[in-house]
Amino acid sequence: MSEHLATVEWSRGDQDFTGNRYSRAHDWRFDGGAVVRGSSAPSALVPTPLSDPTAVDPEEALVAALSSCHMLFFLAFAAKGGFTVDSYRDEAVGILGRDERGKTSITTVTLRPAVVFSGAQTPDGVAIDDLHHRAHSACYIANSIRAEVTIEPR
């Protein structure tokens, strides 16, 4: 199989750590050189400025990873089927709640892909549903999480 690396870096600086007054902002570094600013989601427990609302929180990252994985398989299956995709936009939503074990987790993710096709051969609704079904079945991230995933094509 394959290995996937990410480096997460955080530093306290001169902030009051034991008083719980420290920034949750940190960096995600990837092997290709990309750096993404991460943070906890701003909340009553970790308000701004201790959380950075401009950064990506882990929950958003999970939803984005799932959406991205689904899209990449969808595009591959569409190309293999002879369909030309001009654009793909997914406004995915993850819900944080209590799961069946009573643990806080992302319990559901809804993918809402809007796909624009062009060319002589465009898929009908049945073919689009099949592309999404196959993409979901093949998606590594969907196969790795416990959350219920729903696909609502637009």
Could you read off the pLDDT of 61-106 as tens digits, one per residue? Answer: 999 999 999 999 999 999 999 999 999 999 999 999 999 999 999 9
State if pTM tops 0.95.
no
Q: 117-146: per-residue pLDDT in tens? A: 999 999 999 999 999 999 999 999 999 999
Cα 117 from Cα 87, distance rounded (Å):
7
Query: How much is the average pLDDT of 50-65?
Result: 97
